[in-house]
């Protein structure tokens, strides 16, 4: 049966953390995961028939740094949307543990995260806020002149981002976006992993955009034992494709109905995905997935975040970022995100960056066949903590 498929992403097995910290990290990852699926549902609302790809983890991290400076009702809104309100531990200290576990230099995959504070030379930022981001988020600090040298400041930030994403994320910000800014908070994330089992052949194949519309793709093929299951709750098949070292896997969810992608997407939650991935068993499979790449730039995240419940942070005169500076009119004027992914015969490479810009007083033997020949959703997920690092949808292949 030809089916849409959902590719549920790279799963990273990380080093051990102490028991209490590990439990807190799991609870924080659950909050991040709930935010990830809610954000995904909002992003795809305005993207019918389009490819989508972004890193909810990058966005969560950038917004968590922003939340560190919020107070009052502004903080309450962010806390609610980010899922931090039920947590009884220090969110920022737990983010420190989570980021430390993800940045594992001994791993066979490469996963690198970085955070930065870019501050206008005339902006008086509290040392306590600077210290918090340096300690808990390992954030770098750089003074720039956003008012008199906006172009040079944007170039500096863009080079910083490019260097930390292996050159995959370029031109995140332009001069107009940083002009008259007070502070820019940036997160980057970069991932690269090779398949444990390389795809043995690639051939032109039909990709079904719908039951009646088709195009051609480069389909990567192999036959081997893989962990697999049929999930009745999500009404889909699930396949795990491990990367070298078996510490990272790509999960693919294939709806049982030919045009079941929308129905599957409507059922995606942190709990439903976590439960589904816990029931895979090894079977021999003939596997085919398309070779693909996506570049995505989301320059209007503020309307999406408003629809999720964050409003005051973006309103001059209402936002309260009194833990960042004594300037009463400080607010977030822009939130932008850029992401990249490439999936080929050797493995997967993905990167993303998020920038939050602040200003004030200005006006953001084969037992089954698994052939991915229909539109799919994919995500890259940390197996130990459950963190959703990247998420996207591939529905429109380029012409061969």
pLDDT tens profile 40-60: 999 999 888 899 999 999 999
Rounded Cα distance between 234 and 276, Å, is 8
What's the pLDDT at 257?
Answer: 85
One domain, residues 220 and 319: no
pLDDT at 64 (0 to 100):
98
| pLDDT higher than threshold 90 for residue 3 | no
Q: Is the pLDDT of residue 381 over 60?
A: yes
Q: Would you say residue 366 has pLDDT above 90? A: no
pLDDT tops 60 at residue 121: yes
More confident residue, 336 or 400: 336
pLDDT of residue 18: 59
Question: Does the pLDDT value for residue 279 go beyond 80?
Answer: yes
Q: Do residues 263 and 122 share a domain?
A: no
Flag whether the pTM goes above 0.75.
yes
pLDDT of residue 24: 93
Same domain? For 131 and 234 the reply is: no
Asked if residue 185 and residue 302 are part of one domain, the reply reads yes
Percent of the chain with pLDDT over 90: 66
Shared domain check, 102 and 23: yes
Q: Is residue 98 part of a domain?
A: yes
Q: Are residues 174 and 272 in the same domain?
A: no
pLDDT on residue 8: 36
What pLDDT does 2 receive? 39
CATH code, domain with 117: 3.30.497.10
**What is the token pair recorded at 95?**
């983010």
Q: Looking at residue 379, which CATH number applies to its domain?
A: 2.30.39.10
Residue 391, pLDDT > 80, answer yes
Q: What is the number of domains present in the chain? A: 2
List, for residues 158-172, the tens digit of each pLDDT value.
999 999 999 999 999
384 has pLDDT over 80 = no
Average pLDDT, the chain: 89
| Residue numbers of the domain that contains 112 | 19-193+293-360
Q: Is residue 100 part of a domain?
A: yes
- Between 127-137 and 91-102, two packed helices, what is the crossing angle to 10 degrees? 40
pLDDT per residue as tens digits for the range 12-44: 333 444 556 888 999 999 999 999 999 999 999
- 139 vs 137: CA distance, rounded Å: 5
Q: Are residues 156 and 137 in the same domain?
A: yes
How far is it, in rounded angstroms, from Cα 324 to Cα 145?
A: 18
In a domain, 399, yes or no: no
| Tens-place pLDDT, residues 309-360 | 999 999 999 999 999 999 989 999 999 999 999 999 999 999 999 999 999 8
C-alpha to C-alpha distance for 296 and 304, rounded to whole angstroms: 16
The half-sphere exposure of 104 on its side-chain side, counting CA atoms within 13 A, is 19
Residue 19's pLDDT is what? 57
If asked whether residues 324 and 305 sit together in one domain, one would say yes
Q: Output the pLDDT for position 268.
A: 94
**CA distances from residue 86 to 30, 62, 66, 400 in whole angstroms, order as listed:** 11, 20, 19, 49
Q: Are residues 45 and 84 in the same domain?
A: yes
Model confidence pLDDT, tens digit, residues 128-152: 999 999 999 999 999 999 999 999 9
């Amino acid at each position: 049966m030809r089916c849409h498929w959902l590719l549920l992403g790279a799963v990273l097995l990380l080093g051990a953390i102490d028991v209490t910290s590990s439990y807190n990290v799991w609870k924080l990852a659950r909050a991040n995961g709930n935010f990830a699926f809610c954000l995904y549902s909002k992003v795809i609302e305005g993207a019918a028939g389009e490819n989508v790809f972004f890193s909810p983890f990058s966005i969560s991290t950038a917004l968590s740094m922003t939340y560190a400076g919020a107070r009052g009702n502004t903080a309450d809104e962010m806390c609610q949307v980010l899922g931090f309100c039920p947590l009884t531990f220090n969110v920022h200290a737990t983010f420190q543990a989570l980021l430390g576990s993800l940045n594992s230099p001994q791993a066979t995959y490469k996963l690198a995260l970085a955070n930065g504070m870019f501050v206008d030379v005339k902006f008086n930022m509290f040392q306590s806020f600077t210290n918090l981001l340096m300690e808990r988020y390992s954030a770098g600090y750089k003074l720039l002149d956003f008012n008199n040298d906006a172009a040079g400041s944007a170039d500096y930030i863009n080079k910083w981002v490019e260097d930390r994403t292996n050159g995959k994320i370029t031109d995140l910000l332009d001069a107009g976006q940083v002009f008259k800014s007070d502070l820019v908070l940036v997160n980057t994330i970069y991932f690269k992993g090779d398949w444990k089992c390389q795809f043995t052949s690639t051939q032109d194949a039909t990709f079904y955009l719908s039951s009646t519309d088709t195009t051609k793709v480069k389909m990567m093929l192999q036959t081997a034992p893989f962990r697999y299951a049929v999930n009745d709750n999500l009404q889909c098949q699930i396949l795990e494709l491990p990367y070298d070292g078996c510490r990272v896997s790509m999960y693919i969810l294939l709806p049982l109905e030919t045009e079941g992608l929308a129905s599957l997407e409507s059922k995606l939650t942190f709990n439903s995905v976590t439960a589904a991935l816990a029931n895979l068993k090894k079977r021999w499979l003939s596997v085919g997935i398309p070779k693909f790449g996506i570049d995505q730039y989301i320059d209007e995240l503020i309307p999406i975040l408003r629809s999720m419940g964050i409003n005051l942070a973006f309103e001059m005169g209402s936002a309260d970022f009194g833990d960042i500076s004594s300037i009463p009119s400080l607010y977030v004027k822009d939130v932008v995100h850029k992401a990249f992914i490439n999936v080929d015969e050797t493995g997967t490479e993905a990167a993303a960056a998020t920038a939050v810009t602040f200003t004030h007083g200005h006006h953001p033997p084969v037992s089954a066949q698994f052939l991915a020949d229909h539109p799919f959703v994919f995500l890259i997920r940390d197996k130990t903590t459950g963190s959703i690092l990247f998420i996207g949808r591939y529905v429109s292949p380029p012409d061969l």
